[in-house]
């Protein structure tokens, strides 16, 4: 076969035509254009022939037709009839592969797209659906297009299961039997530069929210009580450290009589020597339990902070720090009165309540 050099613009347009063929689900055209692209990119002819199962003469004919008639040699042909059907076992395999993620299928990405799934179905089963049909197929299999979220690579799922199945039920049973309140604690910082959220606006006109750009935040310690939804908090402009944390807990002990169960995460100032000594000094009243590492979803107060930011800082402009403090304090004061709403934030823990 004579050596032919393709211009970059030609290769680019071939790749665009290849995408159209994939969208249309035209298997014949996908194979033909891919062969041309492979040849244009310098792939060895023997490899191309073996990969696509064609003869040398077929490849030559396709190349000759393209050189002679260019884009007219690649007519768009809408596939006739209904698309080929996957068997139930193939659909189940597809479901499991989507669930496992594209990296498990050999792709160097963490997110599936319909085009990528289209490619996998074709490579695995030899069936080429249009991307629109792929989306419909995935929906029928109980799959949906969702935004991913980060999870720490240090997360210990075994430890999380032990907490939910063993530690938490034990805490809950003892607290109910002895009438001891359970407080879930955490801290948060509300930024003066505000926070962004969705809002309605005219089409094509993205909402613009002014910001001071000042990197300063109003910090808070807080706890919410599991059974009654009581909310206690304390604002500060200092740093989060063992001193400020212990000061907050001392105020909590003054406000709440009797024993207290405190559930906290593994922040350094929660577990440093000075804080541990504080716990020992108050062990007659304060029982402390650590959440599993990297498990913010197990701390219901995280959801309260999210609601507070929605009320206090979303799409808001704070030209001075005092205005931020006022907005946050107003939002928190309102939330503190909504005890029923706070108890609904307990989410993952409510199932165990019914067992006691």
10-residue averages of pLDDT along the chain (356 residues)? 74 85 76 85 80 80 84 66 78 93 82 85 86 89 80 76 92 95 96 85 82 88 95 93 96 96 95 97 96 90 92 91 94 92 82 46
Alpha-carbon gap, residue 149 to 147, rounded angstroms: 7
Give the end of a domain, one of 22, 40, 73.
73
Judge if 231 and 302 occupy the same domain. Answer: yes
Tell me 195's DSSP state: B
326: CATH: 3.30.420.10
Whether 230 is in a domain gets the answer yes
Whether 132 is in a domain gets the answer yes
Judge if 48 and 119 occupy the same domain. Answer: no
Judge if 171 and 224 occupy the same domain. Answer: yes
pLDDT at 354: 40
pLDDT at 80: 52
Whether 149 is in a domain gets the answer no
Whether 304 is in a domain gets the answer yes
Whether 1 is in a domain gets the answer no
Judge if 105 and 194 occupy the same domain. Answer: no
Joined together, the tokens standing for residue 116 give: 């990528």
CA distances from 248 to 109, 241, 270, 280, 338 (A): 45, 11, 12, 16, 22
| Residue 185 · residue 226 · CB < 8 Å | no
Judge if 125 and 221 occupy the same domain. Answer: no
Whether 81 is in a domain gets the answer no
Whether 319 is in a domain gets the answer yes
Q: How many domains does the chain have?
A: 3
Judge if 21 and 170 occupy the same domain. Answer: no
pLDDT at 83: 57
Judge if 126 and 249 occupy the same domain. Answer: no
Judge if 223 and 304 occupy the same domain. Answer: yes
Judge if 59 and 98 occupy the same domain. Answer: no
- Domain of 128 in residue numbering reads as 88-140
Judge if 183 and 293 occupy the same domain. Answer: yes
Alpha-carbon gap, residue 272 to 241, rounded angstroms: 10
pLDDT at 156: 79
Alpha-carbon gap, residue 334 to 308, rounded angstroms: 9
Give this prediction's pTM: 0.61
Whether 246 is in a domain gets the answer yes
Q: Does residue 325 come out as left (phi exceeding 0), alpha (psi in the -120 to 50 range) or beta?
A: alpha
* Residue 219: how many other CB atoms lie within 10 Å: 17
Judge if 59 and 169 occupy the same domain. Answer: no
Judge if 236 and 346 occupy the same domain. Answer: yes
Distance between first and last Cα of the chain: 80
The number of helix segments (H) and strand segments (E) in the chain equals 16, 5
């Amino acid at each position: 076969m004579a050596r032919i050099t393709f211009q970059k613009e030609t290769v680019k347009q071939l790749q665009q035509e290849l995408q159209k063929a994939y969208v249309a689900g035209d298997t014949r055209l996908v194979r033909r254009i891919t062969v041309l692209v492979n040849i244009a990119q310098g792939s060895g002819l023997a490899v191309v022939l073996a990969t696509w199962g064609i003869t040398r003469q077929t490849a030559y004919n396709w190349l000759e037709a393209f050189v002679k008639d260019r884009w007219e040699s690649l007519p768009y042909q809408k596939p006739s009839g209904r698309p080929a059907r996957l068997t139930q076992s193939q659909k189940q395999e597809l479901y499991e592969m989507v669930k496992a993620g594209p990296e498990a299928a050999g792709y160097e990405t963490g997110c599936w797209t319909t085009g990528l799934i289209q490619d996998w179905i074709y490579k695995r089963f030899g069936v080429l659906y249009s991307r629109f049909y792929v989306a419909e197929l995935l929906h029928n299999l109980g799959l949906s297009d969702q935004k991913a979220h980060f999870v720490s690579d240090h997360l210990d799922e075994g430890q999380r299961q032990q907490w939910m199945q063993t530690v938490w039920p034990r805490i809950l049973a003892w607290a109910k039997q002895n009438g001891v309140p359970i407080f879930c604690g955490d801290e948060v910082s509300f930024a003066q530069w505000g926070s962004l959220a969705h809002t309605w606006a005219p089409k094509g006109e993205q909402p613009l929210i002014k910001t001071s750009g000042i990197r300063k935040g109003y910090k808070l310690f807080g706890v919410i009580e599991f059974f009654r939804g009581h909310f206690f908090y304390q604002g500060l402009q200092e740093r989060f450290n063992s001193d400020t944390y212990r000061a907050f807990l001392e105020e909590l002990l003054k406000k709440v009589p009797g024993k207290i169960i405190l559930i906290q995460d593994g922040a350094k100032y929660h577990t440093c020597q000075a804080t541990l000594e504080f716990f020992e000094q108050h062990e007659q009243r304060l029982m402390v339990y650590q959440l599993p590492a990297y498990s913010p979803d197990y701390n219901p107060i995280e959801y309260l902070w999210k609601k507070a930011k929605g009320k206090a800082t979303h799409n808001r402009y704070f030209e001075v720090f005092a205005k931020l403090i006022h907005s946050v304090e107003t939002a928190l004061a309102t939330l503190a009165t909504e005890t029923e709403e706070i108890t609904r934030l307990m989410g993952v823990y409510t199932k165990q309540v019914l067992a006691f």
